[in-house]
Amino acid sequence: MTVQIGDRIPSANLTRATDDGPKPVSTDDVFAGKTVALFAVPGAFTPTCSAKHLPGFKDHRDELAGKGVDTVACLSVNDAFVMGAWADSQGVGKDDIVMLGDGNGDFTRALGLSMDAKGYGMGERSQRYSMIVKDGVVEKLNVEQPGEFKVSSAEHLLTQL
């Protein structure tokens, strides 16, 4: 079942690249007591994700903060090394956007937002989406139709705040 507005974010372990290597981070730590703008991409370094999705959130980080967002987080079914390298290649600072690796896709499956990308040689991945989560509860949810990039953008999310 796909996560819905009003649902609590499931507890799961993700990874984050740090200067000391990958470190586990729980979704409870990411979302508890904060307003989080979470966006998910099918894959780091993929065309739309690198040209539009991540740059949009990087460019609008301050505007999101001005509308009450404490944390902007990017999630992908990639490992922490890939997420860290992608952030570096995009000029994303560790305090600008929290880059979360869901290497095995456990969190993505728990949300009901996984997709089969085996036809592209990518295995199981995340659908493209964005959401606003307040203290662990989904307030806004924007899931893209396959192949589209409209409702999950930073610009669209700003209109919802």
Active site residue 74: no
Q: Which of 100, 146, 108, 144 is nearest to 124 (CA)?
A: 108
Beta-strand pair 13-18/21-26: antiparallel
Dihedral angle, C-alpha 45, 82, 41, 113, nearest 10 ° = 140
Spot the catalytic one: 49, 75, 98, 157. Answer: 49
Beta bridge partners of 35: 134
Residues designated catalytic: 49
